[in-house]
Structure 1
């Protein structure tokens, strides 16, 4: 089965599946099971794999590297992304750390280059010129092809970008049907209710203006890792609506929740963290879902949201 939706990440020429497999939890799998998961992704057209050196203190990258050896998937069929910058309980964007971290990631994953490297979380001590030196060295050495950020607000993106010779292509941000702050704020402009509070600096509009792909993490979670909202009895109205619309398209609620994010015209990607091959296959069944504007809003309202 082919997964039909692909995105040109940040209009960089890096073409990847709109659904990416996040590997934070892959450390819980055996090498063989991890290889099966990766192979299932490829079989369903999911070619984008997201990792970080902080996941399991490097063990997620090691597990992914072991899976690649077993699955024997050609490197040119995959788009591999990893993130650096988290060190124990602090952040480090020094030139030395970025370069050392990337070299470690390459070794653990057993690959020669990374397609996309993200700065994991904003470091208040970051020096943009130092970041630029690290990025340029890694790019010139052929170790990293593209660069982006994760959990940055617009001013932080702009601060780093002004020092770089290359364009930042992506920002990985928490977004789901039950985590819609960056959307709510835009519709509640000039209001005084709780939805009008801008926690993100207008990051959705900024990303669109600057051709940065938003990579949505925790697309099935509510709160900050509080739990999954799919088929959760805490959210009966939302789940009724999801099942009704999924049935209309002959699909499933897992695919629908991802399709809801992708319906936002911002060159989105959805990073899913499931370690279940069957559920991953369900999520990949997304090409048949073509949400109407009304259906998108119906789901938004069913999640407890409103309009001014």
Structure 2
């Protein structure tokens, strides 16, 4: 499991990091380590670089920490600035420059995994491949992956890349189920409405590509405020399963993802120590959901029977 660090670093544009920013980051990282989480997910755009910067400060204050954790970051999204709209940039030279900037903010010699954050329609896959190969040869990045890409996009990129792509990070949760529903709605009238490229999960499974789930707790829809009758019904079921299995509702929500044969790895995005701690059983215990319980959660959350 990863701790997603997108909320670390305080408010964008609030000036240099202050003591409160650093203390909040240290508390979140400490809670993650206490829960058994040793992998941390960042991106160059999170808080416009402040997340990497504050994480680097945490590492600087605990020199032995770097050797005990995995650091993953991303590049490829350029935020809007002035008259320039937000856009994607996976040109090779840009990838090299963004990695250099991330290394500097993090204060580390190498990144464990670099993910390409979004597909760039203008990018040359051979140019991307050359940049990734260069980063690997220099020892600046140990492994590579993608985020928000389909199986076909991954296969096309891999054909031009000398290093294996080992991860694909997607939005996946009990609430965001299109990755799952695309497969069972084949040959139904609902199939066109999923919007998810069929075969992506299968491609990752077949090629040993780790599936990482961003926003796996669905913004607390099942452990906090519900907005629909289906969410309310699912939250009740989750609370009951948590009671029976002597764990937390957060763990049940994560177990539902982890129970899938793809062995989905959640990226938990909370910075609250108590909420991070509530996810600990999803690290310490194997997913304790029966076949029937898993389906009951799915059908209850979707608010309708399967076809």
Same fold (TM over 0.5): yes
The residue number in structure 2 matching 1:231 is 224
Q: Where does residue 68 of structure 1 map in the other structure? A: 59
What is the CA-CA distance between 1:128 and the residue it aligns to? Answer: 0.9
Q: What are the Cα deviations for residues 207-226 of structure 1, in whole angstroms up to 9, with x where unaligned?
A: 1111111100011227xxxx
Q: 2:164 aligns with which of 162, 167, 185?
A: 167
Aligned partners of 1:247 and 1:66: how far apart in 2?
39
Give the alignment partner of residue 276 of structure 1, picking from 264, 272, 279.
Answer: 272
Report what 1:138 is aligned to.
135
Counterpart in 2 of 1:256?
Answer: 252
Matched, 1:306 2:297: no
What SS is found at the alignment partner of 1:189? coil
Where 2:112 maps in the other structure, the secondary structure is strand
Check conservation: 1:47, 1:78, Cα contact below 8 A: yes
Q: Deviations over 1:7-28 (max 9, x none)?
A: xxxxxxxxxxxx2100110122
Q: Distance in 2 between matches of 1:201 and 1:186?
A: 6
Query: Secondary structure of the equivalent of 1:27?
Result: coil
Q: Structure 2 CA distance, aligned partners of 1:157 and 1:132? A: 12
Contact 2:152 2:200 in 1 (8 A): no
> Shift in Å at residue 197 of structure 1?
4.2
Shift of 1:198: 5.0
Structure 1 residues 69, 228: closer, same or farther in 2, change over 3 A?
farther
* CA deviation map 1:125-183 (0-9, x unaligned): 11111111111111111100000000001121111100111110000000000111011
Residues 61-116 of structure 1: CA distance to partner in whole angstroms, max 9, x if unpaired? 00111122234443221111000011120111111110010010011011110000
Partner of 2:215: 218
Deviation at 1:259, TM superposition (A): 0.9
Structure 1 unaligned segments of length 5 or more: list them.
Answer: 1-18
Shift of 1:194: 5.0
Contact 2:39–2:70, Cα closer than 8 Å, also in 1: yes
CA contact (8 A) 1:35 1:70 kept: no
- 1:255-274 Cα offsets, whole Å, 9 max, x none, are 11111100011031100100
Q: Cα RMSD (Å) of the superposition?
A: 1.6
In the TM superposition, what is the alpha-carbon distance from 1:285 to its structure 2 partner? 2.0
The Cα of 1:36 is off from its aligned counterpart by 2.0
Give the alignment partner of residue 42 of structure 1, picking from 30, 33, 57. Answer: 33
TM-score scaled by length of structure 1: 0.89
Q: Which residue of 2 aligns with 1:83?
A: 74
- Aligned equivalent of 1:21: 3
Count the aligned residue pairs: 286
Deviations 1:221-267 (A, max 9, x none): 27xxxx73423243221111000111111001111111110001103
For the pair 1:148 / 2:148, whether they are aligned, the reply is no
Aligned counterparts of 2:274 and 2:63: Cα–Cα separation in 1: 21
State the partner residue of 1:108: 105
Are 1:41 and 1:280, in contact at CA under 8 Å, matched by a contact in 2?
A: yes
Q: CA shift at 1:43, angstroms?
A: 2.3
Question: SS at the partner of 1:219?
Answer: coil
